[in-house]
């Protein structure tokens, strides 16, 4: 599961929702006047409608605040920002409790809501900066083979390195299985058959007597099954998270294999010269 506190995009959108709430709450207050200090503090509503305010406008403004509060519902807990209210055992979420300012025995004063909301915004900004600084590096890995990075990219950016490697390996295997029409073979058998010495399904192109071609054909017969067993299988069976360095090395190994597979010819085409 992705940790929301480590996702800069989510934190930024949450801050936008909180800012929307603050603006809507400020507009709501503009249609009211504060009761002020006195014997009624904590008993009568903290704000009351202005005499010249249209009830329909007040109702619409309140609806906008409620909608915005709903969008920002996780901000208080995400930033651990709540208001301690005398006589209440648990601190109060200032966004969820905003409407009490206009009710008898209000939990919060308008200033409480505004101050706490500003603090939430500040904390979200700080959290976003921290999360962005802690994002795994992407320089270089985005240039990997499209099949590999296309499957691994989102998981990589979320910091799920083992899952990124596993997803990329599975995508490459699925692509190869479809190309050679061997849907019934498991991955280990597939790579062994595709690059087998006696009856391969894919061949490195070129003159079979050329030393480089000989090396590539023999090497792929060992490299492809080896990558499957050491990278795909271990990523699938392991439970501990990989480091970014371990993952990028494995993705690179998968990427070069994907590029070599792209360059290989189907055996029928290679034999007919088409």
pLDDT digits (tens, 9 = 90+) for 112-149: 999 999 999 999 999 999 988 877 666 567 788 999 99
Q: Do 153 and 267 belong together in one domain?
A: yes
Q: Do 117 and 201 belong together in one domain?
A: no
Q: Do 242 and 209 belong together in one domain?
A: yes
What's the pLDDT score for residue 131? 85
Query: Is the pTM for the entire model greater than 0.85?
Result: no
Q: Is the pLDDT of residue 270 over 70?
A: no
Q: Do 113 and 180 belong together in one domain?
A: no
Going by their DSSP bridges, the two strands 47-49 and 32-34 should be labelled as antiparallel
Q: How many domains does the chain contain in total?
A: 2
Final residue before a domain boundary, out of 68, 102, 133: 133
**CB–CB of 238/160 below 8 Å?**
no
**CB–CB of 190/249 below 8 Å?**
no
Mean pLDDT rounded to a whole number for the chain:
90
**Per-residue pLDDT reduced to its tens digit, 45-90:** 999 999 999 999 999 999 999 999 999 999 999 999 999 988 888 9
Q: Do 12 and 98 belong together in one domain?
A: yes
What is the span of the domain harbouring residue 260? 141-272
Single out the residue of 156, 163, 150 nearest to residue 137, CA to CA.
156
Q: Do 156 and 89 belong together in one domain?
A: no
CA–CA dist 111, 2 (Å, integer): 35
Q: Do 31 and 55 belong together in one domain?
A: yes
């Amino acid at each position: 599961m992705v940790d929301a506190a480590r996702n800069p995009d989510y934190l930024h959108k949450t801050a936008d929702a909180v800012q929307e709430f603050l603006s809507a709450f400020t507009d709501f207050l503009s249609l009211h006047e504060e009761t002020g200090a006195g014997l009624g503090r904590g008993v009568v509503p903290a704000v009351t409608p202005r005499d010249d305010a249209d009830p329909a406008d007040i109702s619409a403004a309140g609806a906008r605040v409620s909608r915005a509060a709903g969008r920002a519902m996780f901000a208080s807990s995400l930033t651990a920002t709540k208001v301690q209210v005398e006589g209440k055992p648990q601190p109060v979420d200032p966004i969820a409790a905003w409407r009490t300012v206009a009710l008898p025995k209000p939990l919060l004063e308008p200033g409480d809501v505004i101050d706490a909301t500003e603090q939430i915004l500040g904390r979200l900004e700080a959290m976003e900066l921290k999360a962005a600084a802690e994002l795994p590096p992407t320089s270089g890995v985005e240039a990997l083979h499209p099949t590999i990075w296309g499957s691994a990219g989102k998981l990589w950016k979320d910091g799920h390195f083992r899952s990124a490697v596993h997803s990329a390996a599975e995508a490459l295997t699925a692509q190869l299985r479809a190309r050679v029409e061997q849907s019934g073979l498991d991955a280990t058998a597939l790579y062994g058959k595709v690059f087998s010495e006696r009856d391969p399904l894919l061949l490195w192109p070129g003159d079979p007597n050329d030393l480089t071609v000989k090396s590539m054909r023999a090497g792929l017969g060992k490299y492809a099954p080896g990558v499957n067993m050491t990278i795909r299988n271990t990523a699938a069976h392991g439970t501990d998270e990989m480091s970014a360095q371990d993952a990028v090395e494995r993705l690179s190994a998968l990427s070069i294999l994907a590029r070599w597979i792209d360059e290989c010819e189907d055996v029928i085409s290679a034999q007919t010269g088409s």
